[in-house]
Structure 1
Amino acid sequence: MARVASNPLSLPRFRPYFQVSDTALLFKSPSLSPYRTRKFQSIACQTNPLPTQTQPSDEGKVLAEPDSVDDSTSEATTSSVGGGFSESPNKNINRRIAIGSTLAAVGLFTSSRLDFGVSLKDLSAAAVPYEEALSNGKPIVVEFYADWCEVCRELAPDIYKVEQQYRDRVNFVMLNVDNTKWEQELDEFGVEGIPHFAFLDKDGNEEGNVVGRLPRKYLQENVDALARGEASVPHARVVGQYSSAESRKVHQVVDPRSHV
Structure 2
Amino acid sequence: MAHIAPTNFSNLPTTLPELRPGRLGLARVKPARFGLAHLQQRRLQASHLRATTEPLESQPASPTTEEQSAKPDLVEDKKEESSANQEAGFVEFPNKDMNRRIALASSFGAVGLFFSSRLDFGVSLKDLAANAVPYEEALKNGKPTVVEFYADWCEVCRELARDVYKVEQQYKDRVNFVMLNVDNTNWEQELDEFGVEGIPHFAFLDREGNEEGNVVGRLPKQYLLENVVALANGESAIPHARVVGQFSKAEDRKVHQVTDPRSHG
- What range describes the TM-score normalised by the shorter chain of this pair? 0.5 to 0.7
Deviation for aligned residue 1:90: 4.3
In structure 1, what is the Cα distance between the partners aligned to 2:154 and 2:175? 25
Identical amino acids, percent of aligned pairs:
67
Residue 35 of structure 2 corresponds to none
Instruction: Give the letter for the 1:211 counterpart.
Output: V
Superposed, 1:16-95 pairs within 5 Å as 17=29, 40-44=45-49, 90-95=96-101
For residue 107 of structure 2, what is the aligned residue in structure 1? 101
What residue is the counterpart of 1:197 in the other structure? 202
Structure (1/2) with the larger helix percentage: 1
- Give the alignment's Cα RMSD to 1 decimal: 3.1
With 221-230 and 102-111 compared, the bigger mean Cα shift is at 102-111
Which one has the largest radius of gyration?
Answer: 2
Q: Which residue of 2 aligns with 1:33?
A: none
**Distance between the aligned counterparts of 1:244 and 1:4, measured in 2?**
176
Q: Which of 232, 235, 244 pairs up with 1:239?
A: 244
Shift of 1:108: 3.4
Corresponding residue pairs, total: 197
1:153 has 2:158 as partner: yes
Measured in 1, the distance between the counterparts of 2:14 and 2:125 equals 156
1:122 to 2:127 alignment: yes
Evaluate the alpha carbon distance shift between residue 180 and residue 15 of structure 1 in structure 2; reply closer, same or farther with a 3 A threshold. Answer: same
CA gap of 1:172–1:45, structure 2 versus 1, over 3 A, is farther
TM-superposed deviation, 1:184: 1.1
Mapped to 2, the partners of 1:243 and 1:147 lie a distance apart of 11
Query: What is the rounded CA distance, in whole Å, between the counterparts of 1:170 and 1:255 in structure 2?
Result: 25
Q: 1:131 aligns with which of 133, 136, 146?
A: 136
Q: Which runs of 5+ in 1 are unaligned?
A: 7-13, 21-36, 48-88
Letter paired with 2:117: S
- What letter corresponds to residue 206 of structure 2 in structure 1? D
> How far 1:219 sits from its partner (Å)?
1.0
Instruction: State the SS of the aligned residue for 2:243.
Output: strand
Which amino acid in structure 1 is aligned with residue 127 of structure 2? D
Aligned partner letter, 2:107:
S
- Superimposed CA distance per residue, residues 16-53 of structure 1 (whole angstroms, 9 cap, x where no aligned partner): 94998xxxxxxxxxxxxxxxx99744134679xxxxxx
Q: 1:4 to 1:167 in 2, by over 3 A?
A: farther
CA distance in 1, matches of 2:44, 2:252: 126
Distance change in 2, residues 1:38/1:176 (3 Å): same
Please state whether the residue corresponding to 1:135 is helix, strand or coil: coil
In structure 2, C-alpha distance between the alignment counterparts of 1:18 and 1:158, rounded to whole Å: 127
Alpha-carbon distance in 1 for matches of 2:237, 2:44:
121
Check if 1:217 corresponds to 2:222.
yes
Q: How far apart are residue 152 of structure 1 and its match?
A: 0.6
More divergent stretch after superposition (161-170 vs 100-109)? 100-109
- CA 1:45–1:113 in 2, change beyond 3 Å: closer, same or farther? farther
The aligned counterpart of 1:251 is 256
> Hey, what's the Cα distance between the residues in 2 that align with 1:4 and 1:167?
158
